């Protein structure tokens, strides 16, 4: 059975009290899936933050897991979910970063490092813009 689900939710409106409006960086990798992809899609589509990392799994609907003897486990989505524009949910990050073998061997998390660097840049830009608007 081939099912498709179109996400037709309107953009989320933030609460009027104590809303965080500062810089936002969301980290993804190939294991980001399901509700996490829905969250990241909303952040990216509403231009609320920057997505850093690898493209996501592209799997949001009813995951099924099957064991393959002597090989491992395969994950299959039973329902195909679409973003509001009709495209499949698989997030392509705004800033693409993948771990390297050298980074893994040295215990570094290059995706997190890039996310932190991006966040620091966003804060600096935000502070500059706020300062530029002062008389």
Sign of the torsion formed by the C-alpha atoms of 63, 33, 86 and 20: positive
* 114, two tokens: 């890039």
Mean pLDDT, residues 94-114: 96
- Give the mean pLDDT of the chain: 84
Asked whether the predicted pLDDT for residue 44 surpasses 60, the reply is yes
pLDDT attached to residue 11: 72
pLDDT at 51 over 90: yes
Torsion of CA 9, 54, 31, 104, to 10 degrees: -160
Q: Is the pLDDT of residue 38 over 60?
A: yes
Q: 58 or 119: whose pLDDT is higher? A: 119
- The full set of domain ranges for the chain reads 23-132
Average pLDDT value for residue range 93-122: 96
User: Is a pLDDT exceeding 90 seen at residue 107?
Assistant: yes
Q: How far apart are CA 57 and CA 52, in angstroms?
A: 14
- What architecture is the 23-132 domain classified under in CATH? Alpha-Beta Complex (3.90)
pLDDT at 49: 95
Do the Cβ atoms of 25 and 112 come closer than 8 Å?
A: no
- What's the rounded mean pLDDT across residues 71-96? 83
């Amino acid at each position: 059975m081939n099912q498709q689900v179109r996400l037709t939710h309107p953009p989320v409106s933030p609460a009027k009290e104590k809303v965080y409006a500062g810089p936002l960086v969301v980290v993804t990798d190939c294991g980001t899936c399901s509700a996490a992809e829905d969250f990241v899609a909303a952040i990216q589509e509403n231009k609320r933050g920057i997505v850093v990392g690898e493209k996501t799994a592209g799997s949001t609907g009813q995951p099924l897991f099957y064991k393959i003897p002597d090989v491992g486990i395969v994950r299959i989505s039973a329902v195909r979910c679409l973003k509001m524009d009709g495209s499949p949910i698989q997030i392509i990050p705004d800033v693409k970063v993948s771990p390297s073998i050298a980074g893994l061997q040295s215990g570094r998390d290059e995706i997190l490092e890039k996310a932190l660097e991006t966040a620091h840049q966003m804060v600096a830009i935000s502070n500059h813009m706020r300062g530029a608007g002062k008389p």
